[in-house]
Amino acid sequence: MKASAITEGMSFGLPAMLAVSSLRLEHALRDLGRYFVRKEFFVNDATHLGNVFCPIHRQYVFYMLSLYIREYLRKNRRQMASYPLGEDI
């Protein structure tokens, strides 16, 4: 669980907020849809998101999305830590 918290901090902390690319914004939107609606929206829309939002707006939208994603990850951290990922059988 500690590693999960460290990864979350690196993904959504201050260094991640300094430069938000359109691809990073697309991944945040896709993760949000996958967590809350169980569907993948915003697939292959990075170029469109880059044209629609200027860098300041991308940063603000990413910050707002990160609040929702962080709450979901914090709520489900124990459940996610109980499932081993990437182990060789």
Helix runs in the chain, H state only: 2-12, 14-18, 22-36, 46-52, 55-75, 77-81
Work out the mean pLDDT of the chain and round it to a whole number. Answer: 78
Residue 88's pLDDT is what? Answer: 47
- Tell me the C-alpha distance between 89 and 86, whole Å: 9
Listed by start position, the domains of the chain span 2-81
Q: What is the pLDDT of residues 2-58, one digit of tens each?
A: 666 666 666 666 655 677 888 888 988 898 888 888 888 888 888 888 899 998 888
Both structure tokens of 9: 């901090």
Q: What is the pLDDT of residues 29-41, one digit of tens each?
A: 898 888 888 888 8
Q: Is the dihedral of CA 84, 1, 35, 10 positive or negative?
A: negative
